[in-house]
Amino acid sequence: LWRARLDEHLGTFQAEAIEMNAARLMDSAIAVYGLQTMAAHLRLLPERDAHGALYETLAVMIAHLDDADAAGELVARFELLILDELGFGLDLSQCAATGS
């Protein structure tokens, strides 16, 4: 809801959260560690550089990071995506040592 005294004024928005992700994630040590790891990696990205794939992946991770079975895989996939976005993507289609 937007309100201002006059239409040409800046005004303020009033919003209500539908879901409180922070409260849900704070109950899980794995989720907090995953968020800390993701935040540290996101600091490596250049400022004001759009990364749509990371934004979408981050939304999925926040939704599922409190699941202990999936958290490790989610963080590993996020790290691979960060490397790809920075231009250091890994080719995991074959073994680096044997080539098979």
pLDDT tens, position by position, for the chain (100 residues)? 888 989 888 899 998 888 888 888 888 899 999 999 999 999 988 888 898 889 999 999 999 998 989 899 999 999 999 999 888 988 888 888 888 8
Burial string for 29-44 (b: 16+ CB within 10 Å, else e) reads ebbeebbeebeebeee
The pTM (predicted TM-score) of the whole model is 0.70
